[in-house]
Structure 1
């Protein structure tokens, strides 16, 4: 494993980090694609998370030196907390997570996140699920509508972050949004966040213009997700008649790492072999001619052009 400093946190994290998603037979993530409303309901736990296959992946992650873990909904939080007790890691690990049902469009105008008592209670609830004393990285993902609805919203969030840190409930805060560039830049400008958590791939690339640069100026870590475009990359591969999905995956991840601002890629899988293969790219992050060719072929597909157009519109809203 190779490690990079995560901004000014003083923590070196693995360049490949582990996502908390578990998967259905159709390869879609569990929870959100089973019952979305239940998945974002605090306290609802889907059965079967954190089972034997997941523990095999966790054991492999330890062997590979992965020390950063991202979990989203409560089933993933509970499973990771339980699994870390069943299989204690041989080195310190760091967990990133978010308040359940508070983020993105799950709560209108993200009002719950702006109320300190409500956010504090949620952090305390999450710590019980994780079976930990402190949330290492708390992801506070709000939308542009929150800022438009409340002129004091950024001030409230900054206060809440400082108080959660002061009370020892969280160590660091993550900036995140689905409202694109303008909201990310406002989050960064507060100085309250330590990490930028962002969708970033060669179709969803607008962050290269301003967000990554501003994050670097603020000495913030950058955690990238969706290197494979939520699986859409492999549908594009079918259109381009690309059979070597492994080489394509390597190309996609190397593209993300070609930007020095990126600290780590969150990698989700249900197979140990895939996780092991992802780490192998760190031996040589230079793009081969074959890998560059695959990216060019993907960019020529109609699926890519549609996806890129939609992501550009979303990010630059």
Structure 2
């Protein structure tokens, strides 16, 4: 495993992050396809063995149980000082007012709740999960700065917003002397490339590390188009992201299959390699429900696509409507 600086920070992270949405109590939250704790632990252990030191979860994943499972496993399998834990805040964690969003009240409440569930006294990377249209961004940025200064958080990140919103947040942080966002976690894969238009160039110009989510398009790029999985059958968000462009996306998936067959490697390695080679990308976030998923992801780091292969993979793409955050 090789390690890279996360954006302009001094923090070193593995070239892959393990996405921990897969881990959680299936009966809790909105992800019935998740793995329970007994099934999650071997995957987390193997990630550590493979040199992955970057683990990405969120307070709302499986109603907080993802944080609990990940926190307990990492405490057993590795040392805290060797681990980079990322979690997020925004989505409601219960019914009633002030249970979600990015107000000062919500941030101060949820950062402490995440620390308790993770079983740690600090979070390495704390991300806003989405843009909050109901809270002034200045309030959010100052509250985030305060949790950094309090020692509860080391670095700040953002996820899935318009480029103009991210630019505004960076500008305001600099103007007020607040801690600026070091990372952008955005939706990027061969089926959804709209981030190449503005967000990726902005991140490169600002020295922001890019840690894309769903690099395999929730598995759509790893198997035959009509082949189903437990997750595809129950993941309503997947249908929201990709259902409108199935004809065009199918041609992209066929290109991935062709390149993979020519190389004699799994499709997942080709799709992941494409994301990892994008300018500005630090570490794609890979979800794994089987050990083989994790092995493929790590093996993809040794796949260096040629210019001709990249052109073949990208040729079928057509512009998509913005998806993933609005």
The TM tier, using the shorter chain, reads 0.7 to 0.9
Could you give the per-residue CA deviations for residues 106-146 of structure 1, whole angstroms, max 9, x where no partner exists?
99999844432332121111111101010111111233xx3
Q: 2:141 and 2:10 mapped to 1: Cα distance?
A: 21
TM-score under structure 2 length normalisation: 0.74
Paired residues of 1:180 and 1:315 also in contact (CA < 8 A): no
Cα deviation for residue 237 of structure 1 reads: 4.0
Could you give the per-residue CA deviations for residues 179-208 of structure 1, whole angstroms, max 9, x where no partner exists?
433333333433421111111112221222
Query: Between Structure 1 and Structure 2, how many residues are aligned?
Result: 285
Q: 2:83 aligns with which of 93, 112, 119?
A: 93
Could you give the per-residue CA deviations for residues 88-113 of structure 1, whole angstroms, max 9, x where no partner exists?
3496111111136349xx99999844
Cα deviation for residue 251 of structure 1 reads: 2.0
Q: 2:169 and 2:181 mapped to 1: Cα distance?
A: 7
Paired residues of 1:135 and 1:171 also in contact (CA < 8 A): yes
Q: 1:235 and 1:277 mapped to 2: Cα distance?
A: 13
Paired residues of 2:90 and 2:100 also in contact (CA < 8 A): no
Corresponding residue number in structure 2 for 1:62: 48
Residue aligned with 1:194, SS: strand
Cα deviation for residue 86 of structure 1 reads: 2.7
Aligned CA distance change for structure 1 residues 110 and 265 (closer, same or farther; 3 Å): farther
Paired residues of 1:60 and 1:272 also in contact (CA < 8 A): yes
Q: 2:150 aligns with which of 167, 178, 181?
A: 167
Corresponding residue number in structure 2 for 1:276: 295
Residue aligned with 1:270, SS: coil
Q: 1:75 and 1:108 mapped to 2: Cα distance?
A: 20
Paired residues of 2:163 and 2:202 also in contact (CA < 8 A): no
Structure 2 unaligned blocks of 5 or more: 174-179, 227-249
Q: 1:272 and 1:168 mapped to 2: Cα distance?
A: 35
- Show the 5 A alignment for 1:1-317: 1-22=1-22, 38-39=28-29, 49-51=36-38, 53-72=39-58, 73=61, 74-89=64-79, 92-99=82-89, 101-102=91-92, 112-143=100-131, 146-147=132-133, 149-150=134-135, 153-177=136-160, 179-191=161-173, 192-234=180-222, 237-238=225-226, 242=257, 247-287=266-306, 293=312, 295=313, 300=316, 309=320, 312-314=321-323
Q: 1:47 and 1:232 mapped to 2: Cα distance?
A: 17
